[in-house]
Amino acid sequence: MKKIYESALAEYQKTIKKDPENAQAYLNMSMAFHGLNNGRNSILAARKAHDLFQKQGASAKATEVRAKLRELYKTYD
């Protein structure tokens, strides 16, 4: 399973390099980091996704990410 998450991370990083405003890629990256039990980077990526969704006016997605962040904080705090 670790290889799958690592491969996914590499793809999300490529996507973000091409499109640094891709909030969904940051959210997906957060979940991949979570799958690798990397709480710090999972939270950082989710925060970035939240900020980008808010900036883009996607309030429903931003709310969804806030809920995920609460779960991540509980898991890794």
4 touches 12 (CB < 8 A): no
pTM score, two decimals? 0.95
Which domain CATH number covers 11? 1.25.40.10
Q: What is the pLDDT of residues 13-56, one digit of tens each?
A: 999 999 999 999 999 999 999 999 999 999 999 999 999 999 99
Q: For every residue of the chain, which 3-state class applies, written as one string?
A: CHHHHHHHHHHHHHHHHHCCCCHHHHHHHHHHHHHCCCHHHHHHHHHHHHHHHHHCCCHHHHHHHHHHHHHHHHHHC
Domain membership of residue 62 as a residue range? 2-76
Q: Is the pLDDT of residue 6 over 90?
A: yes
- Tally of domains within the chain: 1
Residue 77: the pLDDT is 82
Residue 18: the pLDDT is 98
Q: Is the pLDDT of residue 74 over 90?
A: yes
